[in-house]
Chain A
Amino acid sequence: MWTSWKFWTAWFSILGLIALLAFGFTTDPKKVPSPLIGNPAPDFEISALNGAAKMRLSELKGKPVLLNYWASWCQECKVEAHVLEAFHKKYGLATEQIKVVGIAIQDTPDKAQAFAQRFGKSYFLGLDDSNGNIALDYGIYGVPESFFIDPEGIIFYKHIGGVTAELLEKQFKPFL
């Protein structure tokens, strides 16, 4: 039996399958690759939620940008709202090291504004147009999603789902 190829094939296949599935534990399926990583962030112009001020992404070059997509109807966005605001207070308001920008998608101006007020948002918030053109450029397929853009305007990281303070600190560390 020890010389039978069937015997060895069976054991190698079983071990291979188990090893492969075990390897699965070390990976994070939520880390979805984006073709945008390593490429310039698509530029856009957007009006502020609370006024007529306009902002163009390319104007922010020179500083790293945290670009967050959200919506007032999204539960996980509520969870991460405080994290984002705290991060902005720490690195945006106080030291102006990092720009934080939030773009609401599939939302209405009233609801988005109510959300911003409820969570005391102080960073720049805009609303995507009704066709969702900006979200399309970024290939958003759910909210929240966050893009991490370096000072040269290149996207270096993408996160799906709510962010945590540790994640933000870790990813932006090289620029702090």
Chain B
Amino acid sequence: MAIHPPALYLGFIVFSVPFAFAMGGLIKGKMDNEWVMTTRRWTLMAWYFLSAGLILGGQLAYEELGWGGFWAWDPVENAAFMPWLTGTAFLHSVMIQEKRNMLKICNVVLIILTFGLTIVSTFPTRSGIINSVHAFTQSEIGPAFLIFLALILVIGFSLLFKRIQMLESEHKIESVLCRENAFLAQNVLLVGIAFTVLLGTTFPLLAEAVRGTKLSIQAPFFNTIIAQMGYMLLLLMGIGTLIAWRKSSWEGLLRNFKNPLILATAGTVFLAWFLSDRNLLWSVHTIFWLTIFVTATIVLELFKAVQAKSRQTESNFLKRLFYVISRNPRRYGGLLIHFGVILMFLGFAGTFFKVERNMTLEFGVPEQIGEYSLKFQQVEEFKVGNATHRAAIVEVYDKDGNLLEVMKPAKSFYPTQPQPLTEVAILRSFLEDLYLIFSSENGGEQGSVTLRVFINPLIGWSWMALPVFTLGVGLSMSYRPKSLVAHETILRERYLAAQATSS
């Protein structure tokens, strides 16, 4: 988790490669698709590190900050999220340029925005203009950052407007129902979310500039608006998987989507029945439906490809699966990443039905929460490295009375730190985490403690997204466009020939 800042940083700086290629192309007036192909791997890498940084940051917040959640819409979290959103849009949008020679202007705009936003996200932590846990330095570097940002945007857009005629598309979208439109819609949504985040993050500044009042925009603003757009994105993720390029018919769509639709609906109804005692919100049912739908499209797509293969050869299923994936690693890598996104969404869904309670535990008296029974034993002090931990020793039993674990939520005192830090205790399982925060120690004969207790369902699934992303990006990166490989071979031969003649 200590690599959360370097991962984000890598993500930020690697986006400078596609940006530089785009700018180079604009300056030279060479705006074919080469820059897109050449920088594909770099873009993937930047996207991967940014995603890893965000996930690890969420994990860090969850385990270290001790408030039971992993994302607080803090200005600096938002700032790192914005380039991720536009970067994701860029990553998809360049595929349209590669395949259909469209959306060229859009792609240049997206990469300028993405790179610009990486600077925006470094800006608040360095300039001290926004109050946040991440605003760790108030250095003199702020104005320099702002000038750099202004230069990027002004020069980037000036060049774009200068060359705009070269970037006009040769093709037009042929039908409403086509993959191009699904991609376009996801661009609009991702940029829309990025804009919402930007608005929410800078609105306090705007309010202060216009009305002179201080205000802060909190999670409900972001959650209400962005959740809806997130659901639509998820839906598009499913549709984009199975819809055809250029032209689709309603009949074709219905044929492709019949099974996923049936599976999603049946699965959601089953989960609603199975979890009926949890009083789930509509948002949870929506996420369940969408995640099953998208998973079904992915699995069916893979299944169909394997079946098509099986008609040709008679090897076993795993061999055929391996063959299918290795023939098109880019596509299946992408679908695997989509599956990672589904895991993240399920983690979010869990936050809608988490249990959160303040519990005062008397010595030796078991208290019930969810499926767990908590029994306070004593307060213990021990050394961990430099710090002194003052911990509540709490035994956790399952509903059959078996001891699951002895948990030690604590406050840690460092000699150099002014305030005690919270050391949460987490009991992880596949479906949920039991999460304890030591609030206070109360008097009384044998003492009692007050704990803040959370049961966080599905949260671990969000973390599982990272290894899935790693695998998906790895697969996807193993692909190189043939034209690019050929082009590089020519260049290498030319270079060697030049070397030979000069010597």
Given A22-B146, A24-B127, A11-B419 contact (CB < 8 Å): no
Q: Mark A129-152, 1 if CB is under 8 A from B, else 0.
A: 011000000000011000000000
Residues of B within 8 A of A32 (CB): 131, 214
Given A27-B129, A73-B420, A20-B153 contact (CB < 8 Å): no
Minimum CB–CB distance from A125 to chain B (whole Å) comes to 18
Evaluate contact between A18 and B205: CB separation under 8 angstroms: no
* Number of A-B residue pairs with CB-CB distance less than 8 Å in the complex they form: 75
Evaluate contact between A21 and B205: CB separation under 8 angstroms: yes
Partner of B418 from A14, A20, A74 at Cβ < 8 Å? A74
Asked whether any CB of chain A lies closer than 8 Å to the CB of B128, the reply is yes
Asked whether any CB of chain B lies closer than 8 Å to the CB of A51, the reply is no
Residues of B within 8 A of A21 (CB): 120, 123, 129, 146, 149, 202, 205
Residues of B within 8 A of A5 (CB): none
From A21, which residue of chain B is reached at the shortest CB distance? B146
Residues 7 to 32 of chain A near chain B (Cβ within 8 Å)? 7, 10-11, 14, 17-18, 20-25, 27, 29-32
Q: How many angstroms between the C-alpha atoms of A100 and B127 in the bound complex?
A: 34
Q: On chain B, which size bracket covers the interface?
A: 35 or more
Asked whether any CB of chain B lies closer than 8 Å to the CB of A174, the reply is no
Residues 111 to 149 of chain B near chain A (Cβ within 8 Å)? 120, 123, 127-131, 135, 142-143, 146, 149
Residues of B within 8 A of A23 (CB): 205, 208-209
Residues of A within 8 A of B135 (CB): 29
Asked whether any CB of chain A lies closer than 8 Å to the CB of B154, the reply is yes
Asked whether any CB of chain B lies closer than 8 Å to the CB of A76, the reply is yes
Q: How many angstroms between the C-alpha atoms of A11 and B157 in the bound complex?
A: 8
Partner of B131 from A1, A11, A29 at Cβ < 8 Å? A29
Q: Which of B127, B129, B131, B149 lies at the interface centre, i.e. has the most chain A CB atoms within 10 A of its CB?
A: B129
Residues 384 to 432 of chain B near chain A (Cβ within 8 Å)? 413, 416-420
Evaluate contact between A1 and B164: CB separation under 8 angstroms: yes
Evaluate contact between B418 and A1: CB separation under 8 angstroms: no
Evaluate contact between B154 and A14: CB separation under 8 angstroms: yes
Asked whether any CB of chain A lies closer than 8 Å to the CB of B150, the reply is yes
Residues 47 to 100 of chain B near chain A (Cβ within 8 Å)? none
Evaluate contact between B157 and A10: CB separation under 8 angstroms: yes
Given A24-B205, A32-B214, A73-B419, A14-B127 contact (CB < 8 Å): no
Q: How many angstroms between the C-alpha atoms of A76 and B164 in the bound complex?
A: 56
Evaluate contact between B130 and A1: CB separation under 8 angstroms: no
From A76, which residue of chain B is reached at the shortest CB distance? B418
From A2, which residue of chain B is reached at the shortest CB distance? B161
Q: Which of A7, A21, A73 lies at the interface centre, i.e. has the most chain B CB atoms within 10 A of its CB?
A: A21
Asked whether any CB of chain B lies closer than 8 Å to the CB of A127, the reply is no
Residues of B within 8 A of A143 (CB): 418-419
Given A24-B129, A24-B130, A18-B418 contact (CB < 8 Å): no
Residues 136 to 189 of chain B near chain A (Cβ within 8 Å)? 142-143, 146, 149-150, 153-154, 157, 161, 164
Minimum CB–CB distance from B141 to chain A (whole Å) comes to 12
Residues of A within 8 A of B10 (CB): none
How many A residues, CB 8 Å from partner?
A: 29
From B142, which residue of chain A is reached at the shortest CB distance? A25
Residues of A within 8 A of B120 (CB): 21
Asked whether any CB of chain B lies closer than 8 Å to the CB of A77, the reply is yes
Q: Mark B196-212, 1 if CB is under 8 A from A, else 0.
A: 00100010011011000
Q: Which of B208, B420, B442 lies at the interface centre, i.e. has the most chain A CB atoms within 10 A of its CB?
A: B208
Given A23-B205, A27-B208, A14-B157 contact (CB < 8 Å): yes
Residues 77 to 128 of chain A near chain B (Cβ within 8 Å)? 77
Q: How many angstroms between the C-alpha atoms of A24 and B215 in the bound complex?
A: 14
From B162, which residue of chain A is reached at the shortest CB distance? A1
Evaluate contact between A142 and B419: CB separation under 8 angstroms: yes
Evaluate contact between A75 and B209: CB separation under 8 angstroms: no
Evaluate contact between A74 and B205: CB separation under 8 angstroms: no
Evaluate contact between B202 and A20: CB separation under 8 angstroms: yes
- Which residues of B does A touch, CB under 8 Å? 120, 123, 127-131, 135, 142-143, 146, 149-150, 153-154, 157, 161, 164, 198, 202, 205-206, 208-209, 213-215, 413, 416-420, 440, 442-443
- Which residues of A does B touch, CB under 8 Å? 1, 7, 10-11, 14, 17-18, 20-25, 27, 29-33, 71, 73-77, 130-131, 142-143
29 A–B pairs (Cβ distance < 8 Å), ordered by A: A1-B161, A10-B157, A14-B153, A14-B157, A20-B205, A20-B209, A21-B129, A21-B202, A22-B146, A23-B205, A23-B209, A25-B127, A25-B129, A29-B128, A29-B130, A29-B131, A29-B135, A30-B131, A32-B214, A33-B214, A33-B215, A71-B418, A73-B413, A74-B419, A75-B416, A75-B417, A76-B418, A77-B418, A130-B440
In addition to A32-B214, A130-B440, A143-B419, 8 A-B residue pairs with Cβ atoms within 8 Å of each other are A14-B153, A17-B153, A17-B198, A21-B129, A24-B129, A27-B129, A27-B205, A73-B413
